[in-house]
Amino acid sequence: MEKKRVLLALAGYTIWGVQPLYWGLMAHLNPMLTLALRIIWASVFTTSILAFTKRLPELIELFQNRKKIRLLAPAMLFLLGDWGVFIYAVQTGHVLDTSVGYYMAPFVVFALGMFVFKEKPTALMLAAMLLAFSGVAISVIQYGRFPLISVVLSFLFAIYGAIKKTVQVESILSISAETIMMLPLSVAFLLISPMGAVFAASPAQDQLMFLGAGVVTALPMMLYSHGVLKLPYVMLGFMQYISPTLALFCGLFMGETLTPDKLVTFVFIWAALAVYIVSLLLEEKKKRRLTRQ
């Protein structure tokens, strides 16, 4: 059973990692239109899956839980921002910046825990955070280029994850609820802006791409939610870097260049990851030793 969960989680992370290739095929379209239709079709797809598996009552029950909805509403806004920035980055040739952003996200989580929630990181975790942020700082000082997309994505994704951690709702249910809450904005955008006419006049292949956006969005969420149950924390710690690594290769495949400022940032982040992985292994070893006692 654990092998099946590992394969499901790997599949989810892999789909997330190669998504730039899909959104890159829609680079000729307005990013706002792509975002609006991604939300609409993701909502349709996830709700259909819940209906097919007879889990719609769970979704209705979630909307009736005011405490969870009050937390999911701000999570929805951060997810909306994450999707929007990501689509814009991919469609404008900044896939490598998204890779840096998602590499950095766990370190932003640790930083938020330290400064906002007054958590005490281990010495190794603190070293990993300093290495990651030093890479960004040196890149800015040396090359005068601030990696805005990377930093914004890392904070959006980290804050979204932190909020979702407090809600503790299964991924397929939460993504369905969040996209449903986004629907009014998406529909209003299509009705009010000229993009609605663009959508209506889009050729069949673009319409199919819009439809597939729902599948591309929801499928990895479903695989992830079924895969991560009861998997060791250290294993998930390793697996979460599959996506940004694949995104890095996607960016290079799509013709982007690993410029000196990006290379400096990547080198520091990879060094931070090495320290982070050592800290995970030591923590796992400590837990096993305590369990045997």
Q: Per-residue pLDDT tens for 195-213?
A: 888 888 888 888 899 899 9
The predicted pLDDT at position 233 comes to 56
Distance CA 223, CA 9 (A): 6
In this predicted structure, the answer to whether residue 236 has a pLDDT above a threshold of 70 is no
Domain count, the chain: 1
The predicted pLDDT at position 281 comes to 79
The predicted pLDDT at position 140 comes to 84
Average pLDDT over residues 153-162: 87
Report the mean per-residue pLDDT for the chain.
Answer: 86
Q: Per-residue pLDDT tens for 28-87?
A: 889 999 999 999 999 999 999 899 989 999 999 999 999 899 989 998 999 999 999 999
Q: Per-residue pLDDT tens for 50-67?
A: 999 899 999 999 999 998
> Sorting pLDDT into bands at 50, 70 and 90, what band is 278?
confident
The predicted pLDDT at position 232 comes to 64
The predicted pLDDT at position 20 comes to 95
The predicted pLDDT at position 128 comes to 85
In this predicted structure, the answer to whether residue 229 has a pLDDT above a threshold of 60 is no
> Sorting pLDDT into bands at 50, 70 and 90, what band is 91?
very high
> Sorting pLDDT into bands at 50, 70 and 90, what band is 292?
low
Residue 193: phi and psi, rounded to 5, are -85, 165
The predicted pLDDT at position 287 comes to 73
The predicted pLDDT at position 112 comes to 78
In this predicted structure, the answer to whether residue 288 has a pLDDT above a threshold of 80 is no
Q: Which domain holds residue 267?
A: 2-292
The predicted pLDDT at position 82 comes to 94
In this predicted structure, the answer to whether residue 22 has a pLDDT above a threshold of 90 is yes
The predicted pLDDT at position 163 comes to 82
Q: Which of 10-14, 146-150, 278-282 has the lowest mean pLDDT?
A: 278-282
Q: DSSP characters for the chain?
A: -HHHHHHHHHHHHHHHHHHHHHHHTTTTS-HHHHHHHHHHHHHHHHHHHHHHTT-HHHHHHHHH-HHHHHHHHHHHHHHHHHHHHHHHHHHTT-HHHHHHHHHHHHHHHHHHHHHTS-----HHHHHHHHHHHHHHHHHHHHH----HHHHHHHHHHHHHHHHHHHH---HHHHHHHHHHHHHHHHHHHHHHSTHHHHHHT--HHHHHHHHHHHHHHHHHHHHHHHHSTT--HHHHHHHTTHHHHHHHHHHHHTT----HHHHHHHHHHHHHHHHHHHHHHHHHHHHHHHHH-
Distance CA 284, CA 192 (A): 53
